[in-house]
Chains A and B, each alone.
Chain A
Amino acid sequence: MRLIVNGNETDVAAETFAELLLELGYEDMPVATALNMSAIRKKDRDTIRLKEGDRVEILVPMQGG
């Protein structure tokens, strides 16, 4: 399935958010997630199912002022 991940078209096999994080190599990173402009909490990542064309944001802690 093709998703828009962090602004880039990405083909993935994952069907859930948790699987997507594994597939993209975020499994051991602290990440914040959103789907189609709505925040997705950690506890919901196993159950949220992805669909073609979904816009996904995966963000990490960074320097900030």
Chain B
Amino acid sequence: MDPVQFYGVWVASRLLLGTAQYPSPAILADAITRSETDILTVSLRRESTGGSGGRDFWKLISALGRKILPNTAGCHSAKEAITTAEMARDVFDTPWIKLEVIGNADTLQPDVFGLVEAARELCAQGFQVFPYTTDDLIVAEKLLSVGCEVLMPWGAPIGSGKGLNNRFALKAMRAHFPNVPLVVDAGLGVPSHAAEAMELGYDAVLLNTAVAKAGDPVAMAEGFALAVKAGRLAYRAGAMEARDMAVPSTPVFGQAFV
């Protein structure tokens, strides 16, 4: 598969994978390996009293040697997201940040106003922002104008597994920004959703729950990896035009009994 570039960094895999909700650390590690992903999302959280979960998690993730994309998950204001991003840069030593500013606790829909505000400040500080956004073209233009070089529209609400809720809007976004790396982030449930996003010309997909909550997360990780490859190949190959009527594929010429 052809590599993809985010902020000047080339990666071979077009599947970005989250690290949450796996049944065990061992299954997480195996799923990461089987997915062949190059980029993992992580978060910052308070450690439980006397716990070592953070240290153990970081040891496991570090050993896998993937690029780290910290997130600002759970932030409900630009200020919270900016502070979290600054903290993440300090501990993960990367300018990358998956910027989430959540506008509604039930739908986890992005607060696009806070998102643009936070993106402006973080880009000015030298962060390389991966904004989790909607499929709204005007918001996308604002994000690009403040310095984002990647856009990550949702497919469906986080963790819903619904797939591409608004295929038309995602297709329009691809057409509108032909040279911007676009990543469908959130809402994918099965590998065919990932293939569909890639067939639309998206540069990559980011998912977590669909793998972590599968009956066999390791097998599902491979399923998504294959689907991403298949979708990318299909996009590059160029799909046939859909037709309203049947057209025989076997030649009519030379047919008997006519």
Residue numbers of A with Cβ under 8 A of B are 6-7, 25-26, 28-34, 37-39, 41-42, 57-65
Instruction: State A32–B41 Cα separation when bound (angstroms).
Output: 16
Taking a contact as CB atoms under 8 Å apart, the answer to whether B54 and A60 are in contact is yes
What residues of chain A lie closer than 8 Å to B21, measured between beta carbons?
63, 65
What residues of chain B lie closer than 8 Å to A32, measured between beta carbons?
44, 87-88, 90-91
CB-contact partner of A64 in B43, B47, B52, B55, under 8 A: B43
Residue B243 interfacial (CB < 8 Å): no
What residues of chain A lie closer than 8 Å to B58, measured between beta carbons?
30, 60-61
Q: Which of B21-76 contact A (CB under 8 A)?
A: 21-22, 28, 41-47, 50, 52-55, 57-58, 61, 70-71, 73
Residue B13 interfacial (CB < 8 Å): no
Number of interface residues of B (CB under 8 A): 37
Taking a contact as CB atoms under 8 Å apart, the answer to whether B18 and A65 are in contact is yes
What residues of chain B lie closer than 8 Å to A26, measured between beta carbons?
47
Taking a contact as CB atoms under 8 Å apart, the answer to whether A39 and B86 are in contact is yes
A selection of 8 A-B contacts at a CB cut-off of 8 Å is A26-B47, A58-B46, A59-B47, A60-B45, A61-B92, A64-B42, A65-B41, A65-B208
CB-contact partner of A29 in B28, B54, B83, B159, under 8 A: B54
What residues of chain A lie closer than 8 Å to B41, measured between beta carbons?
64-65
